[in-house]
Structure 1
Amino acid sequence: MLKQRLQQKLLQKLSPQQIQMIKLLEVPAIQMEQRIKKELEENPALEEGEDDSADEVIQPGQDLEEESGNDEREQEEFSLDDYIGDDDEIPEYRLQQQNYGRDDEKRLDVPFSAGSTFHENLLTQLGLRELSDKQKTIGEFIIGNIDEDGYLRREITNIADDLAFLQNINATEEEISEVLSIVQDLDPAGVGARNLQECLLLQINRKDQSVPRISLARKILENHFEDFSKRHYDKISLKLGVSSDDLKEAVDE
C-alpha cells in the first residue's frame, strides 16, 4: 500500500513526457519494436532514425535503461529521492520581508541553519524565548499545526483537545492563546495568523504606529476590513473622513 502511494505521489509530480517514458521502459523489447513500427505507420511525420546502434539486437528482458544509459548521462537525471519527501519540506513563507519596519531589523539576526525548513526556523526562534516546559511544548505543537502559507487553521479548542490526547498535557484555551501570541511574534511577520485580517494586523502592528498612514492602515484593518477586502475605498474614505490621497498611502502600507 505504501509503495502504491509513493508511486502515485511520484506520478503526480512528473511531467506527462516523463510518465510516458517510464511506461515505455516497462514495455518488453518485442512489444516496443511493434509499437514503434505501428507509430511509424500511423504517423507519416515520424521517420525512423539511422543510428549506428540501430543494428544492435536487444534481447527480450534486457534493461532498456542500460542500453540508453550513455545517451541519457548528458540529460538531467531524476530519481525517487528527488520527488519523495518534497511534501515533507514546507515551502518558504509567502509573506514579503518588506513588511518589517526599520526598528524590526534586529529580528533578522536569528541564526537559521542553512537548508533548514520553515518550521525548523520557527522552532529555532521559539527555543530562544524564555518559556516553561509546558509553554515550549504548546508552542511546538502550535508550530506543527501551521500550514505552508503560514496560517494556523486549527481552532484553539481543538488544539487543547489534541494536547490532552496526544501529549497528555491539560492546557486551558487562555494558556494556548498566550503561547500563540508568542508564536505570532516570531518572524516573518504574520506567521500563525488564523485569517487574512489577523495576518495583516500582525504585520502592521510591527511598524511605527506614530506614522499617520500606518495608524490609519491599522484602523482600516481593525474596523473596516470588509470594505477594504472588497476595495470599497470610497466608503472607507467617507466613514473615516480622510482624503483619497491619505487613504491611498494607508492602503499601500
Structure 2
Amino acid sequence: MKPSLVLKMGQQLTMTPQLQQAIKLLQLSTLDLQQEIQEALEANPMLERQEDGDDFDNSDPLADGDELASAPAQEITFQDAPANAELPDENQWSEQIPSELPVDTAWEDIYQTSASSLPSNDDDEWDFTARTSAGESLQSHLLWQLNLAPMSDKDRLIAMTLIDAISNDGYLEETLEELLESFDPELDIELDEIEAVLHRIQQFEPAGIGARDLRECLLLQLRQLPANTPWLKETQRLVSDYLDLLGSRDYSQIMRRMKLREEELKPAIDLIQRLNPRPGSQIESSEPEYVVPDVIVRKDSGRWLVELNQEAMPRLRVNPQYAGMVKRADSSSDNTFMRNQLQEARWFIKSLQSRNETLMKVASQIVEHQRGFLEYGEEAMKPLVLHDIAEAVGMHESTISRVTTQKFMHTPRGIFELKYFFSSHVSTAEGGECSSTAIRAIIKKLVAAENAKKPLSDSKIAGLLEAQGIQVARRTVAKYRESLGIAPSSERKRLM
C-alpha cells in the first residue's frame, strides 16, 4: 500500500477569532473583565478609557458604518473658579520655594502633602491598623505572643513546634508522643517538658487555643472566666463528665446524674453555647472578598427597572488621534500594524457591547419571571430553568449558562448571583409547580417557629408541606434541610 494524496471537499463549523473573543468576554466575571480590559488597554495603543467629562468626537475616519459605537456620554458640570482668585506668577513661586531647607527638617514640615494631611494619631476616629493591616494568620498571632513570653531557648523551640502543629480551628493536630519523636534525640527533650510548654501556649489568646479535643477546648475557655461567673462549677462538671450526653441531647439523663432541675441545667447549657468550639476561627487569615454587581434592579413608580452597573463597566473608545494616522492606500509595516490594532480595538469594543446587551436581555427576563420574589421574598420564587430564558431571548442554553455564571444582581433584597434565580420545580396538589427555593424558604420558616422541646422531624415537615399542597418526599425534605445547614431534629432539641 503506497502513500497517496486525496482531495476531499466538506463543510464544517469553525469559530472566528472575533466570536471566540466575544464568548470569552461573555463568561468573565466583573473583576476578571476589568483585568481583561486593563490588559487590552496596555497592549493596544488604539484603545483608551473614556473618563467622565471627556468631550471629544468619537468618530473613526476609517470606521465602516456602525462598526464602532461609543457608550452614551454623561453630562458633567464643572465648577468655575472664583472671579477674585489670583494665581501666583513665576516670581512669586520662586520666592515661596527656598533653595535649601533648614537642617533637621522634613518636607512635611514645610509643605502640605498627602501623608501629612492624614488625621493625627490623637483622633479617636482614626484607626491606622484598620486601614493598612493585612489578614493575620493564627500561627503569626501565636508567635507574636510567644515572643513576649519569657522562655528558655529549649522551651521556645518546643513552643514553635507546637504552634506549627495547631490547625486553623485552634486544635493540636498531633499527639505529644508524635511531636516528641520529631525532635533531635541529642536535645534530650522529655514528654513532660512538651506538656508543660503546651500548658503555657494554652494560656495564649484566643481562649481555648492548643486544645487536643472539644472537651479540653471548652474547659480552657471556662477556666479563663471570672470565678464569680454564675453556674461556672456546674458547667465545668457538665463539660468534663457529661459532654457526650449533652451532644446527644439526653437532658433527662444529665439531670438525673447531676441531680439538677431543668431550670438549673438551662443556664449551664447557655453558658456552654456562648463558648467558641473553633477558637482559631477568631483570627481572620484571609482577605475579604468583595462582590461587584453587574446589574442593578430597582423599583420606580411601581415598575421594576433593570440597568447595568455603570461603575463596573468602563467606557472605551478608539483614540481618534491614532486612528486619523491610518492611511487607506499605505501598505507600509507601520501602517499595517496600526490598521490591525484599529480593527482589534473595534472588535473588542463590539464584543463588550454584545456582552452588555446579552446581559441586559437575560437579566430583564429573570426579573420578569421572578417579580414575585422581588415583591414578597423567597417563598414567592417561581420555578425557572435555563431553557425558559433561552426561549424568551432567542439564544442557546449554553449562552445563558455563560451569562449567568459569576454575574451578580443587586436588588432591594440583597445581592444574588444570577444562577440563584434558577431552580427546579415540585408538583403541587392543584397541578401547578413550586420552586425548590420556595420550599427551602418554607422549611426554614417552619423550623424557626417549631417547639424547641419537640422539633419537627423530616416526616412531619413533609406532612406540613403536603397540607399546603406541596408534594415532597421525606428524603427530599432531608436534602433541602441539609442544604440550608439545619441539623436533624435530634440535634435541634433544646431546653426551654
Q: TM-score range by the shorter chain?
A: 0.5 to 0.7
Residue 151 of structure 1 is matched in structure 2 by: 171
Distance of 1:72 and 1:149 partners within structure 2: 48
Q: How does 1:1-253 map to 2 (within 5 A)?
A: 31-35=16-20, 66-67=43-44, 70=48, 114-115=133-134, 116-164=136-184, 169-253=187-271
Distance of 1:221 and 1:209 partners within structure 2: 17
Distance 1:243 1:134, change over 3 A: same
Residue 93 of structure 1 is matched in structure 2 by: none
Matched to 1:252, the amino acid is: D
CA drift of 1:70 comes to: 4.8
Question: Is the contact between residue 150 and residue 191 of structure 1 (CA under 8 Å) also seen in structure 2?
Answer: yes
Deviation per residue, 1:193-228 (Å, 9 max, x gap): 111111111101111344441111100010101011
Distance 1:64 1:197, change over 3 A: same
Question: Is the contact between residue 152 and residue 193 of structure 1 (CA under 8 Å) also seen in structure 2?
Answer: yes
How many residue pairs get matched?
A: 162
Q: Secondary structure of the equivalent of 1:223?
A: helix
Distance of 1:149 and 1:190 partners within structure 2: 10
Distance of 2:231 and 2:47 partners within structure 1: 63
Question: Is the contact between residue 184 and residue 191 of structure 1 (CA under 8 Å) also seen in structure 2?
Answer: yes
Question: Is the contact between residue 151 and residue 192 of structure 1 (CA under 8 Å) also seen in structure 2?
Answer: yes
Distance of 1:72 and 1:150 partners within structure 2: 50
Greater RCO structure (CA 8 Å; 6+ sep): 2
RMSD: 3.3
Distance of 1:35 and 1:137 partners within structure 2: 57
CA drift of 1:170 comes to: 3.2
Distance of 2:146 and 2:50 partners within structure 1: 47
CA drift of 1:69 comes to: 7.4
Distance of 1:31 and 1:72 partners within structure 2: 28
The runs of 5 or more residues in structure 2 that have no matched partner are 1-14, 27-38, 53-131, 272-496
User: Normalising by structure 1, what TM-score?
Assistant: 0.56
Matched to 1:198, the amino acid is: E
Q: Work out the percentage of aligned pairs sharing the same amino acid.
A: 27
Distance of 2:51 and 2:213 partners within structure 1: 48
Matched to 1:32, the amino acid is: P
The runs of 5 or more residues in structure 1 that have no matched partner are 1-29, 40-45, 47-61, 75-112
Q: Which has the larger radius of gyration?
A: 2
Q: Secondary structure of the equivalent of 1:152?
A: coil
Q: Secondary structure of the equivalent of 1:224?
A: helix
Distance 1:224 1:162, change over 3 A: same
Distance 1:73 1:161, change over 3 A: farther
Matched to 1:157, the amino acid is: E
Distance 1:148 1:31, change over 3 A: farther
CA drift of 1:122 comes to: 1.0
CA drift of 1:64 comes to: 8.5
Distance 1:33 1:180, change over 3 A: same
CA drift of 1:243 comes to: 1.4
Deviation per residue, 1:90-147 (Å, 9 max, x gap): xxxxxxxxxxxxxxxxxxxxxxx95443222211212222211100110011111111
Distance 1:73 1:196, change over 3 A: farther
- The structure with more strand, counted as a fraction of residues: 2
Residue 51 of structure 1 is matched in structure 2 by: none
Question: Is the contact between residue 40 and residue 47 of structure 2 (CA under 8 Å) also seen in structure 1?
Answer: no
Distance 1:71 1:147, change over 3 A: farther
CA drift of 1:187 comes to: 0.5
Question: Is the contact between residue 160 and residue 170 of structure 1 (CA under 8 Å) also seen in structure 2?
Answer: no
Distance of 2:143 and 2:222 partners within structure 1: 23
Distance of 2:50 and 2:242 partners within structure 1: 59
Matched to 1:120, the amino acid is: S
Distance of 2:235 and 2:143 partners within structure 1: 31
Question: Is the contact between residue 224 and residue 236 of structure 1 (CA under 8 Å) also seen in structure 2?
Answer: yes
User: Normalising by structure 2, what TM-score?
Assistant: 0.30
Matched to 1:164, the amino acid is: D
Distance of 2:48 and 2:207 partners within structure 1: 50
Question: Is the contact between residue 209 and residue 215 of structure 1 (CA under 8 Å) also seen in structure 2?
Answer: no
Deviation per residue, 1:26-69 (Å, 9 max, x gap): xxxx84324468x7xxxxxx9xxxxxxxxxxxxxxx96873597
